[in-house]
């Protein structure tokens, strides 16, 4: 009679030969552990940690696990690891203190690596080369705006020693398609290669979900939340009266463009241009007019706002996410400045990618791409100019910058994921400046601080910034105080060996808005990789680490590896 375990695996589509036995990875590990290895069973890999999703948090998790001597398999749906920094084409969005604090040691190494890469490989001007805080694009969104390919090169450099040693195996163009779960534990994940169609079974004692949408959560029957929770459940001042799981932040198909005055680079009129040209978002509070317009809702006040757009002077929206300022480079290196377009005008609000049929999700991505191309066409042909004319024909789509044929980023910029039901969920009242000032009885933000979490595994800082949503809600944007990342938000309420590594941690629809940016996602992923390594070494489950001496030991490990668990007082 077959064992219950074998029957379960067969039902999950992961049937094994009768001779299968647990491989050596289930035993205690050492720093001399061999590489992620193929088992004796064709189509299988065994590792200490399997990370599904090669986004920003996934790369950080892989780095942390590998430097602790673990065998790691990292999968990525596209052909670029790095997530929002690379395949989604979103320049670094960071806190005000990032040059000196506000990120882990490895995150700071990544930032330094970007500047070093330009210094080593590009013909910088003398002034740019002498600038220790070089900002290649001099964009206003960040102190370090740069090309996606440079971000990719630097992330690969950070991981290169572990790839070379064999501890880390990266499977590009692989997507999770199935899971084997036994009670409260994930036993295996089945992935499929996009080109070959071949499937692999990945086994490990620990699994990390670093997918952009939290794909492993429904696949493994891990409890999760989507969309907006109700105020009755969370007590959050900005939460709606009734929960709405389908009310999710808009996503964006970003693209890169430069401007060449006197030239005509107008693209063919997009298929859905007529629809998007006339589209007025149906939001509450109301959007001020058509989506394809320079006037939009100010995120904080919701009043009509025009940031401006002038590529000839590199002003307004053109400069906002500019990733190349040609004056930083020797004359002739770049013909024009390059900017990434991730603006209110190409936020897609008409549908979701989570918990909808695949065909519907694909339809929304296609529509979002049409929106972005329509925005470019509108800018080229109809956007108002300061001189009274219309259109900027010299705007040129740059497919080479994002590594695609259509000129749009390889993957949509996703702001909101499925989120685990966690042992602890971060709420608005834990981080909101107004809530914390009230709770502490002070009148100035400088006299208040965010909730102190004894189980902190890192820090972050960003406003609660929710873009217009598929549920018809306009911007929600208000200040927070520099905050911590509690370990409890990384631990599912039931599952024992599945960890989140990005936007899928224990936050709400609202607090996702301040836990979703680059430095925080990197910290979350890095903490997940460290936690897996600690639990394997101590032979203890993650939820036990929140208690007593284990927590102190784990936090000492984090500090030794360059984590900040609390904000410096000057911040």
- What total number of domains does the chain contain? 2
* Planar angle of CA 150, 59, 320, nearest 5 degrees: 45
> Is there a single domain that holds both residue 66 and residue 204?
yes
> Is there a single domain that holds both residue 76 and residue 201?
yes
The domain spanning residue 501 has which CATH number?
3.50.50.60
Global pTM? 0.93
Domain end (from 367, 402, 437):
402
Reading the block at residue 482, the tokens are 């520099």
> Is there a single domain that holds both residue 395 and residue 267?
yes
| Residue 110 maps to a domain | yes
Spatial contact of 255 and 409, defined as CB atoms under 8 Å apart = yes
| Residue 71 maps to a domain | yes
Distance of alpha carbon 91 from alpha carbon 157, whole angstroms: 19
| Residue 540 maps to a domain | yes
pLDDT at 30: 32
| Residue 567 maps to a domain | no
Task: Give the pLDDT means over successive 10-residue stretches in the chain (571 positions).
Answer: 38 33 31 55 89 98 98 98 98 94 96 98 98 97 97 98 98 98 98 95 98 98 98 98 98 98 98 98 98 98 97 97 98 97 98 98 98 98 96 98 98 98 98 98 96 98 98 98 98 98 98 98 98 98 94 98 92 59
| Residue 86 maps to a domain | yes
| Residue 504 maps to a domain | yes
> Is there a single domain that holds both residue 180 and residue 238?
yes
> Is there a single domain that holds both residue 198 and residue 293?
no
H-run or E-run covering 180 = strand 174-182
Q: For the beta carbon of residue 41, count every other beta carbon within 10 angstroms.
A: 16
| 144 CB-near residues (< 8 Å, 6+ apart) | 91, 92, 94, 111, 114, 115, 135, 136
> If we measure between CA atoms, which residue out of 478, 489, 418 comes closest to residue 236?
478
> Is there a single domain that holds both residue 197 and residue 293?
no
Range of the domain at 44: 36-247+419-425+487-561
Reading the block at residue 132, the tokens are 């220790």
> Is there a single domain that holds both residue 236 and residue 289?
no
For 101-121, give one letter per residue: b (16+ CB within 10 A) or e. bbbbebbbbbbebbbebbeee
> Is there a single domain that holds both residue 269 and residue 349?
yes
| Residue 446 maps to a domain | no
> Is there a single domain that holds both residue 164 and residue 255?
no
> Is there a single domain that holds both residue 500 and residue 521?
yes
> If we measure between CA atoms, which residue out of 477, 479, 425 comes closest to residue 448?
479
Question: In whole angstroms, how far apart are CA 389 and each of 207, 239, 264, 373, 454?
Answer: 56, 44, 15, 21, 59
Domain end (from 368, 402, 436):
402
In sign, the C-alpha dihedral spanning 52, 54, 55, 60 is positive
pLDDT at 42: 65
Token pair 């259509």 in the structure block, residue: 406
| Residue 170 maps to a domain | yes
Q: Specify whether the backbone of 430 is left (phi greater than 0), alpha (psi in -120 to 50) or beta.
A: alpha
In sign, the C-alpha dihedral spanning 446, 521, 423, 425 is positive
Per DSSP bridges, beta strands 338-341 and 322-324 are: antiparallel
> Is there a single domain that holds both residue 322 and residue 392?
yes
> Is there a single domain that holds both residue 181 and residue 320?
no
> If we measure between CA atoms, which residue out of 476, 477, 483, 490 comes closest to residue 436?
483
């Amino acid at each position: 009679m077959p064992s219950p375990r074998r029957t379960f695996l067969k039902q999950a589509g992961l049937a094994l030969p009768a001779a299968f036995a647990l491989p050596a990875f289930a035993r205690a590990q050492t720093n001399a552990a061999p590489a992620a290895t193929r088992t004796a069973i064709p189509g299988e890999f065994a590792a200490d940690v399997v990370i599904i999703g090669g986004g920003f948090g996934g790369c950080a998790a892989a780095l942390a696990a590998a430097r602790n001597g673990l065998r790691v398999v990292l999968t990525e749906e596209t052909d670029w690891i790095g997530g929002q920094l690379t395949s989604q084409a979103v320049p670094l969005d960071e806190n005000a203190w990032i040059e000196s604090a506000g990120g882990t040691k490895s995150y700071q190494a990544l930032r330094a690596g970007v500047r070093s890469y330009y210094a080593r490989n590009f013909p910088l001007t003398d002034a740019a080369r002498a600038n220790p805080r070089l900002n290649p694009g001099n964009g206003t969104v960040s102190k370090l705006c740069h090309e996606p390919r440079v971000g990719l090169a630097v992330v690969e450099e950070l991981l290169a020693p572990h790839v070379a040693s064999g501890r880390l195996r990266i499977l590009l163009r692989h997507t999770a398609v199935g899971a084997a779960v036994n009670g409260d534990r994930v036993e295996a994940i089945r992935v499929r290669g996009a080109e070959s169609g071949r499937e692999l079974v990945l086994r490990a004692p620990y699994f990390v979900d670093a997918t952009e949408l939290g794909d492993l959560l429904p696949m493994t029957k891990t409890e999760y939340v989507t969309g907006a929770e109700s105020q009755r459940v969370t007590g959050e001042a900005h939460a709606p009266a009734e929960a709405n799981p389908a009310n999710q932040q808009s996503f964006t198909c970003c693209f890169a463009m430069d401007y060449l005055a006197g030239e005509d680079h107008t693209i063919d009129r997009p298929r859905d241009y007529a629809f998007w040209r006339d589209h007025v978002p149906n939001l509450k509070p109301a959007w001020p007019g058509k989506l394809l317009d320079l006037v939009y809702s100010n995120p904080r006040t919701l009043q009509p706002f025009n940031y401006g757009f002038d590529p000839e002077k590199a002003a307004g929206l053109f400069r906002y996410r500019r990733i190349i300022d040609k004056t930083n480079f020797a004359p002739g290196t770049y013909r024009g400045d390059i900017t990434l377009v991730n603006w209110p005008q190409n936020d897609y609000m008409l549908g979701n990618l989570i918990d909808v049929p695949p065909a519907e999700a694909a339809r929304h991505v296609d529509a979002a791409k049409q929106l972005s191309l329509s925005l470019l066409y509108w800018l080229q042909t109809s956007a108002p100019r300061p001189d009274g004319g219309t259109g900027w024909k010299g705007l040129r789509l740059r497919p080479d910058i994002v590594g695609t044929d259509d000129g749009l980023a390889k993957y949509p910029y996703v702001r909101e994921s499925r989120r685990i039901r966690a042992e602890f969920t971060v709420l608005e009242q834990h981080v909101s400046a107004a809530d914390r000032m009230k709770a502490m009885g002070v009148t100035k933000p400088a006299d208040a601080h965010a909730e102190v979490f004894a189980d902190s595994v890192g820090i972050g800082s960003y406003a609660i910034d929710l873009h217009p949503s598929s549920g018809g809600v306009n911007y929600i944007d208000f200040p927070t105080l520099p905050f911590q990342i509690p370990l409890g938000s990384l631990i599912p309420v039931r599952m024992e060996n599945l960890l989140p590594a990005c936007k899928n941690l224990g936050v709400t629809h609202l607090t996702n808005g301040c836990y979703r940016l680059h430095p925080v996602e990197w910290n979350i992923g890095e903490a997940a990789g460290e936690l897996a390594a600690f639990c394997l070494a101590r032979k203890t489950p993650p939820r036990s680490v929140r208690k007593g001496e284990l927590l102190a030991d784990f936090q000492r490990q984090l500090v030794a590896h360059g984590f900040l668990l609390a904000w410096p007082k000057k911040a």
